[in-house]
Chains A and B, each alone.
Chain A
């Protein structure tokens, strides 16, 4: 916002003072409202096609070339569907829930930088803002599930609350490690802190032992937070029909989907920002076109994260409620706390090569121990005998 303001303030020298400000505010808003929903629409298409490829089939390809108009057709149809509100539902809450589901997801994009200096709002508490906002989405899930007066919806709502609240903790702690290393809560500063090395790659936090652990923790947390497979238990289709949005039809259902996907995309964006160097990449310092190259790198990384999401969805079974909670509290939480301590160690060790080895050893050992403890009671190797 500031960058745009500075850029265009000069052009409007003689005009009223509010005009450049208004434009500077309007452009990011239009960008967020225009570009990210388009990404959502095509994510659904890419997801359907990618799942198709995983399953040896084509996926949508009849509407336009390569099925490129499929999301439009879906959107049009969902817009014109009848809107059903169950007779016993709490009508106001039922109406409000999908709206609330979308708002936090959209707000999340406000702090995701896409090019040097180009972030919709450069908040100096950016990361804090993101977590504060993203937790609000659970409210929508619960409202939707509660207002529907459906037992499956209610079960889904309960699961959603339990899951999102639990995964918030390791996720925030994983982010704390990054904040400690970068020394700032601002997303732009976090990206800047990863600037090192020739091709702008070596400094990414994901290449540090603690950063890698943080990345994995954060990615898992983000997946759970946005209820994606294998953590899609709030809407587990094979168990509780469609979970909290069982009773939603037409555009309200589309809004729920929009909120879910936007949250997943925004979380992917934040993951990219915090661990994968944001917009950093070769060639971002070239004059004039550097900004575009940076945006390209950012969206490329974002796309990779989304594809990773889809890939996992196509291949992994779903975990169970108690296992999900156990995993959050027994594995992720200790790991994330240890990770914070390790970042401190990293910070105070002068020799970075030695520090690399030591921290990697500590984290690896901790992971092995935790995996043993958490899995020992359950998983066993079996051999089978044959009848004589």
Chain B
């Protein structure tokens, strides 16, 4: 008898799934990204990412212009981190052409890249909390800090966001003593901001309840799906290109790579906080040891720059993950024959569906926020 009055068989209540298109204009898709979600009530039962709304033909344009002319375009790939994008292209070209970069330029590159990493991570956390519904406060705090770093970039390169700062064989202009002092000042003050930020958020019950055990990405899947950057490290993948390739002068600095255990949204949030602290360590060392000397390799002729025929792949650890450039030079060597950008946030989206299934609509936006995408890079 009990069998008969036990729960209503699912077939008796007729339910329907609804299909919702989240994006391309949506406050939490971080630009023009779209997710075709199938919802059963509030639960996500299907989700397909749709991109291409910002496909700006960067690769084709680069194949029509000289090697040097592509540098300003890389600024606009991941428009938060123009410095690391510049570095990725310069590193690849230097690898193909066999250019040796002077010491001072390498140090300056490390300094600006780590500042960029801090900037990116703080803004990403701000955006993620905006998606959580914190009404802009953490985001605007992050933007306040960002302005300070952008001031330095502006005095360094003349532009706030699109720095166009690096050149093959070095950087465009030298870092003066005043700028080094400014950078030291930023680095000295940043930990206080980070502490304040953490005090406000890291132990907030709502944040913990919302973020923990949401959007779990297992370690094996992370490796298999080519996930890179903080997202992979949050899943426990010990892979940091700064440590593995030791490009530039990263081999000389003492820093650690934080790893997460669970691989959920909270881990991805906290790994970024920890990485910011490690970046500050690197910055302190780099600013202390900054050598004198040339800031650009004098033997490199940027006018009429040519690369011998062949191909090559160079990569850096951008704040969002592995940013690489696959370049092919043909007979003339004046322009790239093939120019391919390996964007980290595009590939990090591969597992979005796996992470979102079974969660609520409200979780989808924070999972996307924790993946940290920038549409300029996803669609190029």
Interface residues of A (CB under 8 A from B): 51, 54-57, 151-152, 154-155, 158-159, 229-230, 232-233, 236-241, 313-323, 375, 378-380, 382, 384-387
Contacts and interface: CB of A to CB of B under 8 A. Distances in A.
A238 B28 contact: yes
Contacts of B103: none
B133 to A, nearest CB: 3
A54 B20 CA distance: 35
Interface residues of B, number: 50
A44 to B, nearest CB: 14
Nearest to B139: A55
Contacts, number: 123
Contact of A319 (B20, B26, B206): B206
A44 B101 CA distance: 57
A382 B26 contact: no
B210 A317 contact: yes
A238 B137 contact: no
Contacts of B204: 316-317
17 contacts: A55-B136, A55-B140, A56-B144, A155-B42, A159-B42, A237-B27, A241-B27, A314-B135, A315-B134, A317-B133, A317-B204, A318-B132, A318-B134, A382-B262, A385-B261, A386-B257, A387-B256
Contacts of A233: 362
Contact of B140 (A56, A229, A241, A315): A56
Interface string B238-281: 10100100000000000011111110001100110010000000
Nearest to B236: A385
Nearest to B136: A55
Q: Which 8 A-B pairs have the closest CB atoms?
A: A318-B133, A317-B132, A386-B256, A387-B257, A55-B140, A387-B238, A238-B28, A317-B134
Contact of A323 (B27, B140, B210): B210
A315 B206 CA distance: 11
Q: Which of B133, B271, B363 has the most CB of A within 10 A?
A: B133
A152 B20 contact: yes
A384 B271 contact: yes
B141 interface: yes
Contacts of B132: 238, 317-318
Contacts of A241: 26-27
A385 B234 CA distance: 11
Contacts of B365: 238-239
Given A155-B361, A317-B129, A385 B259 contact: yes
Contacts of A378: 208-209, 212-213
B241 to A, nearest CB: 13
A51 B133 CA distance: 14
Interface string B205-237: 111111011000000000000000000000000
Nearest to A162: B42
Interface in B40-92: 41-42
A232 B133 contact: yes
A249 B17 CA distance: 28
A232 to B, nearest CB: 7
A379 B362 contact: no
A120 to B, nearest CB: 34
A59 to B, nearest CB: 12
Interface string B316-344: 00000000000000000000000000000
Nearest to A314: B137
Given A241-B26, A387-B240, A319 B141 contact: no
Given A152-B20, A379-B205, A384 B133 contact: no
Nearest to A316: B206
A322 B271 contact: no
B206 A321 contact: no
A238 B205 contact: no
A387 B206 CA distance: 30
Contacts of A56: 140-141, 144
Given A57-B140, A229-B133, A315-B137, 14 more contacts: A155-B361, A232-B133, A239-B365, A241-B27, A318-B206, A320-B362, A321-B362, A322-B360, A375-B205, A378-B209, A384-B271, A385-B259, A387-B256, A387-B257
B197 to A, nearest CB: 12
